[in-house]
């Protein structure tokens, strides 16, 4: 059976999904308040995005209560994989090594993150 196609969210939709993944099912008001911690976003703009996301299948809307509750209908790990695969193919010609070197070279990678990366690479090499 073919794997279900995961809709590719826009950057704005991804911001909303990250809030829902982190906080769980939420009202538009809660999502809008969290978005406004970083940038000024109107309530009606957030509402419109979430309505469109519902139509696209990115979120589900529970209309049982007066305030509708939205929840992510796509899995965070699956979404990250789709986005990463697309980035890997389009920007790095399929080279995971180039992607990792670019990512590590563009940021101040902490010693803790480097240890996690080393541990993960060792695990892969052992075939675990």
Report the predicted TM-score, pTM, of the whole model to 2 decimal places: 0.78
Provide mean pLDDT across the span 15-31. 97
The alpha-helical segments, DSSP class H, found in 6-42 are: 11-23, 28-35
- Measured over the CA atoms of residue 26, residue 32, residue 33 and residue 39, the dihedral's sign is positive
Q: Is residue 2 part of a domain?
A: no
Task: Find the mean pLDDT for residues 5-15.
Answer: 89
Higher pLDDT, 105 or 30: 30
Q: Confirm whether 99 is domain-assigned.
A: yes
Is the same domain home to 15 and 68? yes
Residue 1 has pLDDT above 70, yes or no: no
From CA 11, how far away is CA 3, in angstroms rounded? 24
For residues 95 and 45, state if they share a domain. no
At 46-84, the pLDDT tens digits run 999 999 999 999 999 998 878 899 999 999 999 999 899
């Amino acid at each position: 059976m073919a794997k279900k196609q995961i809709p590719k969210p826009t950057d704005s939709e991804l911001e909303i999904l990250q809030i829902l993944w982190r906080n769980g099912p939420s009202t538009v008001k809660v999502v809008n308040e969290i978005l406004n911690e970083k940038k000024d976003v109107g309530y009606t703009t957030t509402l419109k995005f979430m309505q469109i996301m519902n139509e696209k299948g990115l979120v589900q809307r529970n209309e049982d209560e007066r305030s509708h509750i939205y929840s992510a209908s796509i899995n965070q790990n699956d979404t990250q994989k789709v986005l990463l695969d697309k980035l890997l193919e389009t920007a790095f010609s399929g080279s995971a090594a180039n992607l990792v070197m670019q990512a590590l070279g563009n940021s101040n990678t902490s010693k803790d993150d480097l240890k996690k990366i080393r541990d993960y690479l060792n695990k892969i090499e052992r075939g675990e």
